[in-house]
Amino acid sequence: EFISRQVSSQPDHSFWIGLSRRQTEEPWLWEDSSTLLSNL
């Protein structure tokens, strides 16, 4: 329910569940620590 509320409250944004980064200079990482492929 929390995720549904967050997604529906910002319809102009895309969300990647399980993808994060600690600082803007760092690469995006999946929860298993693999990197986001640039072709996605």
What does the pLDDT look like over 9-27, one tens digit per residue? 877 766 678 888 888 888 8
Contacts of 36 (CB under 8 A, 6+ apart): 19, 27, 28, 29, 30
Q: What pLDDT sits at residue 40?
A: 62
Q: Please state, in angstroms and rounded to a whole number, the distance separating the CA atoms of residues 17 and 31.
A: 9
Phi, psi of 30, rounded to the nearest 5 degrees: -80, 165
- The dihedrals phi and psi of 5, each to the nearest 5 degrees, come to -65, -40
Inform me whether the pLDDT recorded for 39 exceeds 90. Answer: no
pTM of the model: 0.49
**Among residues of the chain, what percentage have pLDDT more than 90?**
12
